[in-house]
Amino acid sequence: MSGLQLHHATYDAQMGTLDDYRSLFDLSGTRAAIIGAGSGIGEASAWALAAHGAHVVCGDLNPGAAADVAAAIAADGGNASSAAVDITDAASVSSLFSDERVDSAVITPSINVRKPLLDMTEDEFARVIDLNLKGTFNAMRAAGAHMASNGTGSIIVFSSVRSQVVEPGQGVYAATKAGAIALVKTMAAELATNGVRVNAVAPGVVETPLTEQIKSNPDWYQAYADISALGRWSQPFEQTGAVVYLASQASSFVTGSTHFVDGGWLAVDGRFTPPL
């Protein structure tokens, strides 16, 4: 029995063998929806969940990119399909959870407008809020309703170290990432009795399309590498251990939490003023 099918009211599993412990991360027979699977962390998450046995539904605003990822996973022996999903459109997100059972959902999409708050226009503010916070809410609400009706499920929301620490030019983005953690905690509290777990993953700096502006500036790029304890950037695949863990039975007693996969960014004291 998958750990996603167990919750506090019925949990009576006994772990007594090596196979029992190996099975903690086995996602065979489960279905995972990844929103933002066309690139970056979402794409890597789709590969990781498929590698552990899940059927992955690769959802993305770019349906061609989602289909390419699903095809590549399938060609390598995984079980994958794709769907067009616009996280800012509640109906589009709901359609991802309308037909077949979904056991875990990974929500990754974000945008950023790097400007001082006094220079941020109302339209720019609305664009970041609409995708990062409202879009995350849309996805959480659709996944939460679906999973609550099934009595089980795991929702995994991507936040950021910017939910905790800020720098000039990151104010609105940081607000959305802090807001996402507040939504995670609230939904975890509200849906716990329905067997649904809700958690966040908060990366440091990751080499994805979202960070192209930083990577194109050598001084900025190196400064971000130097801020963390490990002294380098993360690759998208390095975020997926937390995703597999939170989707699996291994985290059956984990909800309402934030997992910082930041290379020690928050553990050490670093400072950089970006060229805005």
Catalytic residue list? 173
User: Positive or negative CA dihedral for 158, 134, 141, 70?
Assistant: negative
Cα separation, 169 vs 275, in Å, equals 9
3-state SS class at 144:
helix
Q: How would you class 213 by CB atoms within 10 Å of its CB: exposed for 0-12, middle for 13-18, buried for 19 or more?
A: exposed
Give the pair of three-digit tokens for residue 264.
């020690």
Q: How far apart are CA 124 and CA 122, in angstroms?
A: 5
Please, what's the b/e burial string for 231-259 (b: 16 or more CB within 10 A of its CB; e: otherwise)?
eebbebebbbebbbbbbbbbbbeebbbbb
Cα–Cα dist 268/146, whole Å = 40
In whole angstroms, what is the distance from residue 240 CA to residue 91 CA? 28
Q: State both tokens at 13.
A: 């599993």
C-alpha 158/C-alpha 156 separation (Å) is 7
